[in-house]
Amino acid sequence: MNFGPTEEQQMVKDMVARFVDDEIKPVAAELDETHRHPQEICRKLGEMGLMGVSVSADYGGAGMDNVTYVMAMIEISRGCASCGVIVSVNNSLYGHPLKTYGNHEQKLKYLTPVAGGQVEGCYALTEAGAGSDAGAVRCRAELKGDKWIVNGVKKFITNGNVANYSVLAANENPEKGYKGMLTLVVDLKNTPGFSVGTIEEKMGILASGTAEMVFEDAEVPAENLLGERGQGFRQMLEGLDAGRIGIGCQACGIGKSVLEDSLQFAKERVQFGKPISSFQAIQWKLADMATELDAAELMLLRAAWLEDNGLNYEKESAQAKMYASDVAMRAAVEGVQIFGGYGYCKDYPAERHMRDAKICQIYEGTNEIQRMVIARKLLGAR
C-alpha cells in the first residue's frame, strides 16, 4: 500500500495549485457576485488537460488516471466551487458516458472538443418528476426514420445554459420505466426544437449556470444513440458513480478552503489580548476540520484507484461523496463560527463557502440516496 503520489501526479497537483492561487482564488468572489461563467478559466484549464483528465489524448484529453483527476479537482474547488463543478461535469457526467460507450466517430465529434476544453458539455437527466427517482424519466425519444424526435423538459442542469453538447437521458417507452431508457448525444447549438428555459437563481455555486432545457419535437440524428437501446439506465448509474467522485472532490476542496481561511483568520484575530488561535475552543474546531478533510480525501483517492484498476467502486464513490459533502458542510458552519460576525458578511469568504457547500449534499444523488446505495451494497441487494 503506497499513500504517496507518483512524480507525475505530484507535478500535476503542484501545477494546478499554483494556477488556483494565481488565477482562480483572486477572482472567486467576483465570479460569485456577478454570476459570470468563468469561460477564460475553463479555456486555460482545458489547455492544461484538466477538462478531460482521464480521456485519451486521441480524443482531446490528457490521458492520465482518475487519482490525478481527484487531486486536480480538489485543488480547483479549493479555489472556486463553481469552477470545480464545471470541471466535474465535463470530466464525469458528460465525459464518462462518451468515453465508455461512444464509438470512434462520436468520440471524435463530441468528446474531443469538450475534453480539450474548447467548449462545455452537460448531462441532462433530472426532470420535475425525476430527481432522486432517476428511473422515472419521462422525456420521450421516438425513432422516426433517421432521427430521434425528443420531447420533454429537463431541470437543474449544470452547464445547461452554456454547453455546446449534452448527454441526454430519455425514454423510448415511458410505460416500461427504467427499461425503456436510452442515451443520446445532442449538439445543442444545431438541434431544431431545443431551447434553454429558466436559468435558476441559486443560493450558491453562482458562477455555474443551472438551467432548464426544453425539447419540443427536437430532432437528433439516429446515429447519436450512445451504446444500445434500453441501455440508458445502466449508463446513467455508471455515470453517476463517476460523478460522485467529482462532487466529493468539490466538497473536499471547499472544506480545504474553509480550513485555510480559518487558520489565517484565527492567527490574525485578537481577542482578550491574544490571537484566537491560542484558545482551545478554536484549536479543536481546526483540528476536527483538518482530520475529517484528510479522511474524506483518502476516501476519494480510494474510489478513484478502484476505478483506475477496473474494480467496482459504486459503494466507495457513494461513501466518499456522502462523507466529503457532510464534512464540507460541517467545516463551513464552523468556519463562519470562527470568523464570528465577519463570517456572516460578504466581505469575507466564509459565508460563500457555506452557501457553496450545501449543494454538495444534494446533487448527483442526495446523501440520503447515497446511504441507500451503500446499504444496498452491504446487504447484497441488487
**Catalytic machinery residues:** 364
Cell of 326: 457532510
160: cell is 445547461
As to burial, measured by CB atoms within 10 angstroms (0-12 exposed, 13-18 middle, 19+ buried), residue 145 is exposed
Map grid coordinates 437521458 to a residue.
169
Whether residue 349 contacts residue 335, with contact meaning beta carbons closer than 8 Å, is answered with no
* Cα separation, 161 vs 208, whole angstroms: 9
Q: Which one-letter amino acid corresponds to residue 309?
A: N
Which secondary structure element, helix H or strand E, spans residue 309, and what is its range? none
Spatial distance between the Cα atoms of 353 and 198, rounded to a whole number of angstroms: 25
Helices within the chain (DSSP H only):
7-19, 25-34, 39-47, 66-79, 81-88, 95-101, 104-106, 112-115, 232-268, 280-308, 314-339, 350-358, 367-379
Q: How many CB atoms lie within 10 A of CB 195?
A: 12
| Three-state DSSP state, 143 | strand
**Lookup result for grid cell 467548449:** 119
CB atoms within 10 A of CB 359: 25
- Grid look-up 488556483 returns 20
Per the CB < 8 A criterion, the answer to whether 224 and 106 are in contact is yes
Q: Which residues contact 84 (CB under 8 A, 6 or more apart)?
A: 73, 76, 77, 249, 250, 253, 254
